[in-house]
Amino acid sequence: MASVAELKAAIDVALQQIGDGQTAVQAAGEKLSEAQQTLAGALEGSGHETVEAAQASLTQASQELEECLAATLVAVEQAQLYVATL
């Protein structure tokens, strides 16, 4: 069985990994936003359904990234609450 110090150290590593993941998700969100703007500019005025579908997919992807970030924030909070009880 791991000691309290070992457990806290492992949780700290996990929290750092979550932070790294959050940074990557935020960067992905920024790139998606840039892609949306580029696509919108390039295809301005096009009413083709595939263009609209592409924009809708990018919007959905952005929303799902935001949900991912929100979930990781909850995970961090819960892990920190657990550490506080140790």
Q: What is the pLDDT of residues 18-48, one digit of tens each?
A: 999 999 999 999 999 999 999 888 877 777 7
**Mean local confidence (pLDDT), 49-76:** 93
Q: How far apart are CA 26 and CA 56, in angstroms?
A: 19
DSSP reduced 3-state for 19: helix
50/60: higher pLDDT: 60
Question: Across all residues in the chain, what is the average pLDDT?
Answer: 92
Find the largest Cα–Cα distance for the chain.
64
